[in-house]
Amino acid sequence: MHSSDFLSSASKCSTSQSLCHSTSSQNDILPPPVPGVVKENLLRKQKGRFSWLISLALHGAVLLCLAGITLDPQIVHAPAIRIEQPIQEPEPEFVFKPEELEVSDEDLKELGALSERGVTVAEAISSTKADVSFVPPMPSALLSDIARIEPVSFESMGPNEVDQLIETIVGVNVGVAATGTAGAVDRLSLEIARSLEDAPTTVCWVFDQSVSLAGQRQEIASRLKRVFRELSLNDQGDAPDGLTNLVLAYGQRFQFIVNKPTRVSNEVVEAIQGIEIDNSGVEKTFTAIRAAAERLNATRRIGRSSKMIVVFTDEVGDDQVLADQVAIICRRLGVSVCVVGVPAPFGQRFIEMKYVEFDPSYASVEDWAVVEQGPETLFPESIQVGENAFSNEAIDSGFGPFSLSKICYQTGGVYIAVHANRNVRGRVNDRATSPMSSRIRYFFDPELLSDYQPDYLSATKLKQNISSNAAKQALVMAAAATNLKPMTSPETVFPKKSEAELANLLSLAQRSAAVLQPRIDVIYGQLLRGLPDRDRIQEERWKAGFDLAMGRILAMKVRTDAYNLMLARAKAGMQFERPQSDTWVLRPSDVVNVGSRTEKFADQAKVYLQRVIEDHAGTPWAFLAEREFKQPLGYAWDESHTGINNPPKPRPPGNNNRPMPRDDKPKSLGPPMPKRNLKRI
């Protein structure tokens, strides 16, 4: 039935009802009827009431039908409106494998700093003797329950929402420099004090269980005891009002040493002192941060409160793939993350650390272990080239490793980069490098680097940012493709026995330049394509990076071309000016005189390098540019006498190399001490 039919029926019923009411009212004003008519009137009234009920039922049915009618879009002839959604790059899918919380069955008294030898170790490392008589009780729930971290779902969030959640700017500068552990802990006390002024705060202290951090853990525990006392302004051994604490240790797995929030500072300090060493060499830093955030969220307080995570580590972590996901979780839960870590070497992922054995059960050694402490950016921004032994030395980037610094930035925390040699002026040699410190040769003023902070964006947004500027894109592609070792110790001495032998030596030396030249030209061509967008760059960091890359690759191109052309000139024929000369020596020169094209490249290289030195003074870019600028770009020939054509002198008669007398007395040295595997520190 169509809607028009329903309306017609309703109209008829309404007319019938009005007629019935009209008849009824007329009967009420007539004179009293005769008895025979009474029965007829009663029947008429009953019929009127019945008609009214039928009308009411029909009206109700009509209303119900009209309410259930759905108009077909095809019937409505208005044009349909289509909204075109822009195609957006989806956020990369994160895969998070649940981790089981496992606790060792071994007694804490038998392991780590609380073992019999651990007391001696702690005394040898820390200047303050720690009280290690207390063994923190392990909560029964921690021993019996297995906590699983369930994967987080991003299905309800679009790519833009994820980026907005991650990239909410909390602070301008996330990096803070410190010389020692004590200074870092004191800096943290300021963060905690500020949080307490705002609301009651729960802090989860998260410690890397690696071998290399064992000594710092003891120093940190001793320093924290003093910090708690200063914050609380009393000697009762409790944390300040409003401050409660948890302690978590992690390596390959994580465990809560203090499982429930406590105000007893001694419990926190002694729990840190009792953390065991994990010899696996695996550090799941971001897994531990997530576990701490979820535990903090579960320990809710009545009313407004703040939650903080403080991480102590000296490496990046083996689960950096989780960095963005964990940052989102911390943001959702309102947890700020602070990290006490190491400075990232400029543009490098790995660096050597000076390891000095502290455990008497291992052989006493001083060695260099390779550790992952960088880089400071997500994508490479510095081309790796050099001309001498000093070119590949690590220098301070002024910031921490990218993933750890970014999670601090995105959650409103702070990254404190600790290095014992930070205040040393000039080059830090091996002897001066402090134990358990990285082999960074030069440091820079962190205040001068505040305008050069890396872009702490999600991978998707950072790719979009780089793709929007040809110069940035060219720099990243060139940096990713370069790990050039330019003519390591090129041949510069060419003795002349004959013209043929000299020509052969010159041809062999040209091979290194011939192999390197095409690779340099590819990198130069890549940077050249980004040159039109160079002036559109707004960030100081990207300006310095692009100009330094152009200056260094041009300088490298000039040196390689000049070397090759100077050898070719010698092959064409050169005559000694002094009669006694028998050897050609190629020495570096500030003069480039091998052709106008190469001279033009030399002038361009100097312009780029000089711009970096002047515009970015006091930064790693200016340091590298100045060192590059001081290296000569050209070569010049010198002649000398080496006696290559002189007859050999006769050897004197007899043998003066007598063997040393043999010592037949046996020596008992005992079994050698085991040496620690430095790949797992």
Q: Which of 147-161, 241-255, 328-342, 545-559 has the lowest mean pLDDT?
A: 147-161
Amino acid at 105: D
Strand partners, 495: 583
Place of tokens 């003093």: 226
Question: What was the pLDDT predicted at 653?
Answer: 66
Handedness of CA 417, 252, 255, 325 (dihedral sign): positive
Kindly state the DSSP code that residue 535 receives in the 8-state scheme. Answer: G
Q: Which of 78-87, 350-359, 669-678 has the lowest mean pLDDT?
A: 78-87
- Banded pLDDT at 245 (limits 50, 70, 90): very high
- Banded pLDDT at 392 (limits 50, 70, 90): low
Please report whether residue 646 resides in a domain.
no
Question: What was the pLDDT predicted at 96?
Answer: 31
pLDDT in tens, 571-622: 988 889 998 898 999 999 999 988 889 999 999 999 999 999 999 999 999 9
Q: Is-cis flag, bond preceding 92, omega within 30?
A: no
Question: What was the pLDDT predicted at 331?
Answer: 93
Contact 41, 33 (CB under 8 A): yes
List own/partner pairs for 154-163 with CB under 8 A and 24 or more apart. Answer: 154/91, 154/94, 154/328, 158/88, 159/88, 159/89, 159/90, 159/91, 159/460, 160/88, 162/91, 162/328, 162/458, 163/91, 163/457, 163/458, 163/460, 163/461
Nearest-angstrom CA–CA distance, 242 and 201:
6
- Banded pLDDT at 654 (limits 50, 70, 90): low
Q: For position 137, which CATH number holds? A: 3.40.50.410
Q: Final residue of a domain: which of 432, 461, 490?
A: 461
Q: Are residues 544 and 449 in the same domain?
A: no
Nearest-angstrom CA–CA distance, 499 and 137:
85
Please report whether residue 577 resides in a domain.
yes
CB atoms within 10 A of CB 514: 11
Q: Are residues 277 and 199 in the same domain?
A: yes
Place of tokens 């095809």: 74
Please report whether residue 78 resides in a domain.
no
Contact 351, 394 (CB under 8 A): yes
Question: What was the pLDDT predicted at 154?
Answer: 33
Inter-CA distances, 663 with 660, 666, 667, 669, Å:
9, 8, 10, 15
Q: Are residues 376 and 409 in the same domain?
A: yes
* Nearest residue to 581 (alpha-carbon basis) of 496, 646, 640: 640
Question: What was the pLDDT predicted at 466?
Answer: 95
Share above pLDDT 90 across residues of the chain, in percent, rounded to a whole number = 44
Nearest-angstrom CA–CA distance, 507 and 567:
8
Residue 442 has pLDDT above 60, yes or no: yes
Share above pLDDT 70 across residues of the chain, in percent, rounded to a whole number = 68
The pLDDT of 16-42, averaged and rounded, is 43
Handedness of CA 638, 642, 645, 646 (dihedral sign): positive
Question: Which residues 6+ apart lie within 8 Å of 571 measured at CB?
Answer: 503, 506, 507
Q: Are residues 365 and 483 in the same domain?
A: no
Domain tally, the chain:
3
Question: What was the pLDDT predicted at 239?
Answer: 64
Query: Residue 252 in 3-state DSSP?
Result: coil
* Nearest residue to 339 (alpha-carbon basis) of 266, 405, 248: 405
Residue 81 has pLDDT above 50, yes or no: no
Highest mean pLDDT among 280-284, 320-324, 530-534 belongs to 530-534
Q: Are residues 399 and 506 in the same domain?
A: no
Q: Are residues 438 and 491 in the same domain?
A: no
- CA angle centred on 444, ends 442 and 448, rounded to 5°: 165
* Nearest residue to 523 (alpha-carbon basis) of 561, 477, 564, 566: 477
Question: What was the pLDDT predicted at 657?
Answer: 61
Residue 428 has pLDDT above 50, yes or no: yes
Nearest-angstrom CA–CA distance, 121 and 216:
12
* Nearest residue to 548 (alpha-carbon basis) of 445, 450, 619: 619
Residue 679 has pLDDT above 50, yes or no: yes
Q: Final residue of a domain: which of 403, 434, 461?
A: 461
Query: Does an H or E element contain 415, and which?
Result: strand 415-418
Contact 91, 162 (CB under 8 A): yes
Q: Are residues 179 and 281 in the same domain?
A: yes
Question: Which residues 6+ apart lie within 8 Å of 521 measured at CB?
Answer: 557
Mean pLDDT of the chain: 76
Q: Are residues 453 and 476 in the same domain?
A: no
Q: Which two tokens stand for residue 615?
A: 């515009």
Question: What was the pLDDT predicted at 289?
Answer: 97
| Phi, psi dihedrals of residue 345, rounded to the nearest 5° | -70, 145
Q: Which two tokens stand for residue 386?
A: 């050099």
Please report whether residue 648 resides in a domain.
no
Question: What was the pLDDT predicted at 61?
Answer: 66
Please report whether residue 73 resides in a domain.
no
Query: Does an H or E element contain 468, and which?
Result: none
Domain that holds residue 54: 3-68
Q: Between 178 and 275, whose confidence is greater?
A: 275
Inter-CA distances, 533 with 338, 454, 470, 545, Å:
37, 20, 6, 14
Question: Which residues 6+ apart lie within 8 Å of 142 measured at CB?
Answer: 101, 103, 255, 256, 259
Residue 422 has pLDDT above 50, yes or no: yes
pLDDT in tens, 319-355: 999 999 999 999 999 999 999 999 999 999 999 999 9
Residue 111 has pLDDT above 50, yes or no: no
Nearest-angstrom CA–CA distance, 434 and 354:
7
Highest mean pLDDT among 117-126, 230-239, 466-475, 653-662 belongs to 466-475
The pLDDT of 384-413, averaged and rounded, is 82
Please report whether residue 506 resides in a domain.
yes
| Phi, psi dihedrals of residue 615, rounded to the nearest 5° | -85, -20
Handedness of CA 443, 446, 448, 449 (dihedral sign): positive
Residue 85 has pLDDT above 90, yes or no: no
Per-residue DSSP letters for 597-655?
Answer: HHHHHHHHHHHHHHHHHHHTTTSHHHHHHHHHHHS--EEEEEEE---TTSPPPPPPSS-
Q: Between 660 and 502, whose confidence is greater?
A: 502
CA dihedral of 426, 432, 435, 437, whole degrees rounded to 10: 10
Q: Are residues 419 and 553 in the same domain?
A: no
Residue 262 has pLDDT above 50, yes or no: yes
Q: Are residues 517 and 435 in the same domain?
A: no
Q: Between 673 and 73, whose confidence is greater?
A: 673
- Banded pLDDT at 136 (limits 50, 70, 90): very low
Inter-CA distances, 318 with 212, 284, 290, 315, Å:
16, 5, 14, 9
CA dihedral of 263, 177, 681, 376, whole degrees rounded to 10: 120
Nearest-angstrom CA–CA distance, 38 and 50:
19
Would you tell me the crossing angle of helices 323-333 and 402-411 to the nearest 10 degrees?
A: 20
Distance in Å from the first CA to the final CA of the chain: 83
Please report whether residue 219 resides in a domain.
yes
Residue 92 has pLDDT above 50, yes or no: no
Contact 493, 583 (CB under 8 A): yes
Question: What was the pLDDT predicted at 386?
Answer: 56
Q: Are residues 173 and 38 in the same domain?
A: no
Residue 152 has pLDDT above 80, yes or no: no
Q: Are residues 426 and 491 in the same domain?
A: no
Contact 564, 586 (CB under 8 A): no
Question: What was the pLDDT predicted at 2?
Answer: 44
| Phi, psi dihedrals of residue 55, rounded to the nearest 5° | -60, -45
Q: Final residue of a domain: which of 410, 440, 461?
A: 461
Letter string b/e over residues 165-181, b meaning 16 or more CB atoms within 10 A of that residue's CB:
bbbeeeeeebbbbbbbb
Question: What was the pLDDT predicted at 664?
Answer: 58
Please report whether residue 57 resides in a domain.
yes
